[in-house]
Structure 1
Amino acid sequence: MSKRVVRVGVTGHVRLTRGSARPIYRALVDVLRAQQQHGVLHGVTCLADGADKLFARAVRDLAGTFDVVLPEPPGGARDIRRLLRRARWVLRMPAHPRPEARYAAASAEMLRQCDLLIAVWDGNPDGIHGGTAHTVARAREMGVPVRVIWPPKAKRRGHQVGGGSASHSILVPAVAASTSG
């Protein structure tokens, strides 16, 4: 009998402080490891800087597989090329002159492919179309469960958090009620 595949997507902030990487990575590993209890781990990511790259590394380190939905051509950084080579498949989204439209389209495709969304998010509802807050809102509209992580030591570069979550990991209550049972 084959094990069920647990498809986990990610959205999260890109401008994380250097000191945020380790606690966010550990929180991602904890949440992903818990998902492995339900089946074979498979991630879906846009592979943006920050949270998405940490997610891909955590999935890989837990012997899971991942797919990439690229909103724009990847940069030439060695770490991106390495992660792209490890992806099961890579979907390149059509070009669009506005970056936020490219990211919104890529995030929508990622949400269609996942059973759970992990949001590495400070809880601030402000942001651009296609950004973290927008993707979380879209997931909620689609009925995709959202797991928010924002460890106490996590910080964004050049951003003052107003009303963000200080909890390590929470299941968004509106989604928890619709997914229990």
Structure 2
Amino acid sequence: MPVIAVTGHLDLTPATARAVRAALDALLAARPAAELTGVSCLAPGADTLFADAVLARGARLVAVLPGPAYPDPQATAAERAAFERLRAAAHRVLVLPAPLLDPAAYVAANEELLRLADELIAVWDGGPGNGPGGTADMVAAARAAGLPVHVLWPPGSARTGG
């Protein structure tokens, strides 16, 4: 039973989010829902799009949360509502013990995602990233571990942050 983890950018433009969701739907459609488990930290952007796509297929969702204070207190009301909806729909929720949501907490969450996963989907523009715990860091760790990595960055995609 394949377990697919996700990593990706938080700051997708609306058009990019629509294109990524379509690409996720197409990628997941090739897999029987009864044999699929998706693993996500339920962050805004790529993680949320992936979790919604997994649930829309009728597959299982496992949430890995970096710490009990997650999501970040600076999350918008819409981000917090999406997080709560997905957390409630998850088949399993793993809450890691990090007391602070710092880079180490996100690195630990990524390590748990990779421990559970058979492959990784990365919604990633290929950039160098923001350091430990970020998308580029996660892709490098997955490749170093020998996991297959599927990079999704549809033509014309952009981030709101740059």
TM-score by length of 1: 0.80
Letter in 1 for 2:150: R
Q: 1:113 aligned to 2:126?
A: no
Question: Which region of structure 1 is more displaced relative to structure 2, 116-125 or 68-77?
Answer: 68-77
Question: Which region of structure 1 is more displaced relative to structure 2, 67-76 or 101-110?
Answer: 67-76
Give the alignment of 1:119-138 within 5 angstroms.
Answer: 119-138=122-141
Letter in 1 for 2:81: R
Q: Select 1:41's aligned residue among 32, 36, 56.
A: 36
Contact 1:140 1:146 in 2 (8 A): yes
Match of residue 46 from structure 2: 51
Relative contact order: is structure 1 or structure 2 higher (C-alpha 8 Å, sep ≥ 6)? 2
Q: 1:17 aligned to 2:13?
A: yes
Deviations 1:153-176 (A, max 9, x none): 3211121xxxxxxxxxxxxxxxxx
Q: Secondary structure at the match of 1:26?
A: helix
Runs of 4+ that moved beyond 4 A: none
Q: 1:66 aligned to 2:66?
A: no
The CA RMSD measured in Å over matched residues stands at 1.7
Match of residue 142 from structure 1: 145
Contact 2:129 2:135 in 1 (8 A): no
Task: List runs of 5+ in structure 1 lacking aligned partners.
Answer: 160-181
Q: Select 2:84's aligned residue among 72, 81, 84.
A: 81
Whole-Å separation in 2 of the counterparts to 1:56 and 1:98: 21
Whole-Å separation in 2 of the counterparts to 1:36 and 1:102: 33
Letter in 2 for 1:79: A
Q: 1:6 aligned to 2:2?
A: yes
Whole-Å separation in 2 of the counterparts to 1:99 and 1:28: 29
Q: Select 1:101's aligned residue among 100, 104, 108.
A: 104
How many residues in Structure 1 have an aligned counterpart in Structure 2? Answer: 154
Q: 1:26 aligned to 2:22?
A: yes
Task: List runs of 5+ in structure 2 lacking aligned partners.
Answer: none
Contact 1:23 1:153 in 2 (8 A): no
Letter in 2 for 1:146: V
Whole-Å separation in 1 of the counterparts to 2:120 and 2:49: 15
Shift of 1:98: 5.5
Percent of aligned pairs with the same residue?
45
Whole-Å separation in 2 of the counterparts to 1:98 and 1:60: 26
TM-score by length of 2: 0.88
Letter in 2 for 1:129: P
